[in-house]
Amino acid sequence: MRTFLIALALLVVLALVPADLTGLGLPYPGLKRYGTYILTLWLVTAIAAMGVNLIVGYAGQETLAQAAFVGIGAYLTAIAGKHGVPFGISFAASGLLTFVIGIALGFPALRVQKHYLAFVTLAFSVLCWLVFRNETAITGGVMGLRDIERPILFGLKLRNAQTFYWFVLAITAVMTFVLWWIVQSPWGRAFTALRENPLRAESLGVDVRLYTLLAFALGCAYGGMAGSLYAPLVEFIDPSPFALGPSLLFMLMVVIGGSGTFAGPFVGAGVAVLLPEWLRAWETWYLLIYAALVMIMMALFPGGIVGLARVSVRKRQP
Amino acid sequence: MTDLLQLLIAGLATGAIYALAAIGFTLLWQTSQTINFAQGEFVMVPAFFALIAMKLGIPYVAALVVAILMSMLLLGAAFRYAVVGPLLNRGVLPLVISTIALGIILKESVKDIYSAEAQVFPTLLPDRNVTLLPGVTISLAQIGVLVVALITIGGLQWFLAGTRTGRQMQATAQNPTVARILGVPVERMILYTFLINAGLAAMASILVSPIYLAKFSNGETLGLIAFVAAIVGGFNQVRGAIAGGLLVGVLDNLAAAYVSTAYRQAIPLILLVLVILFRPQGLLGRKEERAV
Amino acid sequence: MGLKWAFAGLAAAGLWAGTAAAQDIVIPNIIELSGGGATVGAMWKNGSSMAVEEINAAGGILGRKIKLEFVDTASDPGKARAAMQRALDDKPVAVFGPIYSGSVSATLKMTAEAEVPQIMGGEAGPLTAQGSKYIFRTSFGQNVSMPKIANYLRDGIKAKSVAVVFVNNDFGKGGRDAIVKELGARDIKVVADVSTEAGQADFAADVIKVKGANADAVFVYLNEEESARFLREAKKQGLNKPLIGETTLLGQKVIELAGDAANGVKGHVGLTVDAPVPAIQEFGRKYEAKYKSKPDHNGVKGYIAPYMIKAAAEKAGKLDGKAIAAALHGLTITPDKVPGILIEATWDESGEIDRISFLGEVKDGKQVITETLPKLKK
Inter-chain CB proximity A134 and B224 less than 8 Å: no
Nearest by Cα to C223 from B221, B249, B118? B118
Report CA C111 to chain centroid distance, whole Å.
Answer: 19
CB of C21 within 8 Å of any CB in chain A? Answer: no
Q: How far is C171 from chain A (nearest CA, A)?
A: 9
Residue C76 has its nearest CB partner, among A31, A39, A241, at A241
Q: Is C351 on the interface with A (CB under 8 A)?
A: no
Which residue type does C271 have? L
pLDDT at C21: 44
Q: What is the pLDDT of residue A283?
A: 67
DSSP H or E segment with residue A284: none
pLDDT tens digit at each of 292 positions of chain B: 788 998 999 899 999 999 999 998 888 888 888 889 999 999 999 999 999 999 999 999 999 999 999 999 999 999 999 999 888 878 788 899 999 999 999 999 999 899 888 999 988 788 788 888 887 888 888 888 889 888 988 898 899 888 999 899 888 888 888 888 888 898 899 999 999 999 999 999 999 998 889 999 999 889 999 999 998 888 777 888 899 999 999 999 999 999 888 999 999 999 998 888 888 777 776 665 443 3
Q: Which SS3 state, helix, strand or coil, does residue C23 take?
A: coil
Three-class secondary structure of residue C19 per DSSP: coil
Closest-CA distance of chain A to residue B139, Å: 31
Fold of C2-140+279-347: Rossmann fold (3.40.50)
Judge whether C276 and C299 are in contact, CB under 8 Å.
Answer: no
Average pLDDT over residues A195-206: 69
Neighbours of chain B (3+ CB pairs under 8 A): A, C
Give chain B's contact residues with A (Cβ, < 8 Å): 37, 82-83, 86-87, 90-98, 100-102, 104-105, 108-109, 111-112, 220, 224, 227-228, 231, 262-263, 265-266, 269-270, 272-273, 276-277, 280, 289, 292
Q: Give contacts of C205 with chain B, Cβ < 8 Å.
A: 7, 10, 252-257, 261, 264
Domain C2-140+279-347 and domain C144-269+357-373 have a common topology: yes
Does residue C115 or residue A207 have the better pLDDT? C115
Note whether C208 contacts B: Cβ–Cβ < 8 A: yes
The answer to whether residue B257 neighbours chain C at the CB level (below 8 Å) is: yes
Size of interface A-C (CB pairs under 8 A): 104
Reported residue count of chain C is 378
Helices (H), chain A: 2-16, 33-53, 66-82, 87-109, 116-134, 136-139, 161-184, 186-196, 198-203, 208-234, 244-257, 264-278, 285-300, 304-316
Residue-wise pLDDT for C313-370, tens only, equals: 999 998 999 999 999 999 999 998 888 999 999 999 999 999 999 999 999 998 898 9
Select from 3.40.50.2300, 3.60.150.10, 3.40.50.880, 3.40.50.360 the CATH code of C144-269+357-373.
3.40.50.2300
User: Helix-strand-coil percent breakdown of chain B, rounded to 5?
Assistant: 75, 5, 20
The CA distance from C248 to C267, in Å, is 10
Mean pLDDT of chain B: 88
- Check CB contact under 8 Å for A292 and B105: yes
CA dihedral A109, A110, A112, A114 (to 10 degrees): 110
Which chain A residue shows the shortest CA-CA distance from B111? A284
Region for B134 from its dihedrals, namely left if φ exceeds 0, alpha if ψ lies in -120 to 50, beta otherwise: beta
Task: Answer whether B251 touches C (CB < 8 Å).
Answer: no
| pLDDT over 70 (residue C218) | yes
Residues of B with CB below 8 A from C232's CB? 211
Which region among A52-66, A205-219, A245-259 has the lowest average model confidence (pLDDT)? A205-219
Give the rounded percent of residues in chain C with a pLDDT score beyond 90: 65
B256 touches chain C (CB under 8 A): yes
* Contacting residues of B for C39, CB less than 8 Å apart: 116-118
The predicted model gives A73-88 an average pLDDT of 94
Any chain A CB within 8 A of the CB of C176?
no
- The predicted-structure confidence for C234-279, as pLDDT tens digits, reads as follows 998 889 999 999 988 998 889 988 989 999 999 998 877 777 888 8
Chain A residues lying within 8 Å of B263, measured CB to CB: 130, 134
Cβ pair C13:A20 closer than 8 A: no
Q: What is the distance between the terminal CA atoms of chain B, rounded to a whole angstrom? A: 48
B170 contacts: CB under 8 Å, gap ≥ 6 = B160, B161
- Cβ proximity of C118 and C94 under 8 Å: yes
CA pseudo-torsion sign A223, C10, C81, A271: negative
Question: Contact A142/C70, CB-based, under 8 Å?
Answer: no
Q: CB distance A284–C33 less than 8 Å?
A: yes
The CATH code of the domain at B2-278 is 1.10.3470
Residue in C36, C228, C237 closest to B213 by CB: C228
- The residues pairing with B214 across neighbouring beta strands, listed in sequence order, are B119
User: What sign does the CA torsion over A112, A116, A120, A121 have?
Assistant: positive
**Residue A212 has what pLDDT?**
87
Q: What is the pLDDT of residue A159?
A: 78
In whole numbers, what is the pLDDT of chain C averaged over residues? 89
Q: Work out whether strand B136-139 and strand B129-133 pair parallel, antiparallel, or are unpaired.
A: antiparallel
Instruction: Considering only the beta carbons, identify the residue of C42, C195, C259 that sits closest to B116.
Output: C42
**Angstrom distance (rounded) from CA C258 to CA C66:** 39
E strands of B61-179, at which residues?
129-133, 136-139
CA A174/CA A178 separation, integer angstroms: 6
Touching C: which chains, 3+ CB pairs < 8 A?
A: A, B
Would you tell me which residues 191-210 of chain B have a C-beta closer than 8 angstroms to some C-beta of chain C? 208
- Residues with Cβ within 8 Å of residue C27, at least 6 apart in sequence: C66, C67, C68, C69, C92, C93, C94, C95, C96, C306, C309
Q: Which of residues 221-260 of A touch B (CB under 8 A)?
A: 244-245, 248, 251-252, 255-256, 259
Q: Which chain B residues are closer than 8 Å to C256 by Cβ?
A: 120
Longest Cα–Cα distance in chain A: 63
A59 pLDDT band (50/70/90 cuts)?
confident
Q: Does C6 have pLDDT greater than 60?
A: no
CA–CA separation, A117 and A110 (whole Å): 6
- HSE of C291, CA atoms in CB hemisphere, 13 A: 23
Judge contact between B29 and B190, C-beta under 8 A: no
| Number of other residues whose CB lies within 10 A of the CB of residue B249 | 25
| Bond preceding residue C98 cis, omega within 30 of 0 | yes
Q: Lowest mean pLDDT of A16-25, A162-171, C338-347, name the range.
A: A16-25
Judge whether residue C11 has pLDDT over 60.
no
The residue length of chain B stands at 292
> Under 8 Å CB-to-CB from B171, ≥6 apart: which residues?
B178, B179, B182, B184, B189
If we measure between CA atoms, which residue out of B20, B213, B220, B4 comes closest to residue C230? B213
Distance CA C20, CA C90 (A): 10
Got the DSSP string for A85-103?
--HHHHHHHHHHHHHHHHH
How much is the average pLDDT of A217-224?
96
Read off the DSSP letter of residue C200. Answer: -
Strands C345-347 and C332-333: antiparallel
Q: How far apart are CA C281 and CA C273, in angstroms?
A: 6
CA separation, residue A66 to residues A45, A90, A168, C186 (Å): 11, 18, 19, 46
Instruction: Give the up-direction half-sphere exposure of residue C157: CA atoms within 13 A in the CB hemisphere.
Output: 30
**Integer distance in angstroms from the first to the last C-alpha of chain C?**
67
Please tell me if residue A295 touches chain B, with a CB cutoff of 8 Å.
yes
The DSSP symbol for B80 reads I
Which of the four pLDDT bands, split at 50, 70 and 90, describes residue A281? low
| First-to-final CA distance of chain A | 25
Provide the pLDDT for residue B290: 44
* Phi-psi sector, C364: left (phi>0), alpha (psi -120 to 50), beta: left
Closest Cα to residue A17, out of A31, A3, A1, A2?
A31
Test C75 with A240 for CB contact under 8 angstroms.
yes
Amino acid at B68: I
Which of helix, strand or coil describes residue A210?
helix
For chain C, give the percent of residues with pLDDT over 70: 94
Q: Which of B126, B151, B150 is nearest to B139 (CA)?
A: B126
SS3 state of residue C178: helix
Q: Is the CA virtual torsion C248, C251, C253, C257 positive or negative?
A: positive
Task: Please report, for chain C, the start and end positions of each structural domain, with discontinuous segments joined by +.
Answer: 2-140+279-347, 144-269+357-373
Does the beta-carbon distance from C82 to A38 stay under 8 Å?
yes
CA C86 to chain A, closest CA, distance in angstroms equals: 5
- Interatomic CA distance for residues C87 and C69, integer angstroms: 9
How high is the ipTM of this complex?
0.89
Q: Report chain C residues whose CB lies below 8 A from the CB of B129.
A: 236
Of B15, B191, B223, the C-alpha closest to B106 is: B223
Whether residue B100 contacts residue B92, with contact meaning beta carbons closer than 8 Å, is answered with: no
> What's the order of all strands across the beta sheet hosting C266-269?
C189-196, C161-167, C217-221, C243-246, C266-269, C357-363, C366-373
Are C310 and C336 within 8 A, CB to CB?
Answer: no
